[in-house]
Amino acid sequence: MNGPQKIMIVRHAEKPVEPPPYGVTEDGEEDKYSLCVRGWQRAGALIHFFEQPYRDGIETPQRIFAAGTTQDDPSVEEKDAKSHRPHETLKPLARKLGIDIDASVPVGREDAMVQALKATSGIVLVAWEHKRIPKIARGFFSDAPDWDGDRFDVVWILDRTAAGDYNFKIVNQDLLDGDA
């Protein structure tokens, strides 16, 4: 069978808004393409969430993918093309688990991400830009809904069945104050 046993997809964690708070790098330097402080808090909270799963359907990932950056795709808005947020969201978890993040597929190339996922196996975690997550999910489950643009606090789970297709469900993270 092609594809992983389980695909868990998260939106990158919280981003800067207008007016600020600003985005910051892991070292605290201002960067409009990085997470805001609340986003870094979520990234840290995701360590325990995935390392020691306690929510139904969540498992510790064996492979981690994040949207890569791109400079040359006119179909992708600059704020998304240059965003470090998907990678930053999973960086603390990847470091804790000792897993490299595969960021070889840039945002805007969701078809290539689907193919990369189909070429892997096991338990996989993906962080991506929210408007494009449904395109990845629909590569495995045709009825995947659109992503709610206000939500940073959910995980989409695609579980492969014995027949080789995928079941879909959404799990709330409930990690930070204000999460649903």
- Long-range contacts, stretch 137-140, CB < 8 angstroms, 24+ apart: 137/9, 137/168, 139/110, 139/111, 139/113, 139/114, 140/3, 140/7, 140/114, 140/165, 140/166
Number of domain units in the chain: 1
pLDDT digits over 75-109, tens only? Answer: 888 888 899 999 999 999 999 999 999 999 999 99
Model confidence at 153, pLDDT cuts 50, 70, 90, reads very high
pTM here? Answer: 0.96
Asked if the structure places residue 37 within a domain, the reply is: yes
Higher pLDDT, 154 or 75: 154
Asked whether the beta carbons of 108 and 81 are under 8 A apart, the reply is yes
Asked if the structure places residue 1 within a domain, the reply is: no
Whether the predicted pLDDT of 20 surpasses 80: no
**Residue matched to tokens 């959404």:** 170
What residues make up the domain containing 133?
6-172
- Average model confidence (pLDDT) for the chain? 95
Asked if the structure places residue 140 within a domain, the reply is: yes
**Once rounded to an integer, what is the mean pLDDT over residues 12-32?**
91
How far is Cα of residue 143 from the mean position of the Cα atoms in its chain?
19
User: Which pair of tokens denotes residue 113?
Assistant: 């991400």
Asked if the structure places residue 23 within a domain, the reply is: yes
- Residues in the chain, overall count: 180
pLDDT digits over 42-69, tens only? Answer: 999 999 999 999 999 999 999 999 999 9
Asked if the structure places residue 67 within a domain, the reply is: yes
Asked if the structure places residue 86 within a domain, the reply is: yes
Q: What is the CATH number of the domain that holds 48?
A: 3.40.50.1240
**Residue matched to tokens 């096991």:** 122
Asked if the structure places residue 179 within a domain, the reply is: no
Within 10 A of 121 (CB to CB), how many other CB atoms are there? 15
**Once rounded to an integer, what is the mean pLDDT over residues 9-33?**
92
* Nearest in space to 38 (alpha carbons), one of 12, 65, 58, 10: 12
Asked if the structure places residue 125 within a domain, the reply is: yes
Higher pLDDT, 106 or 20: 106
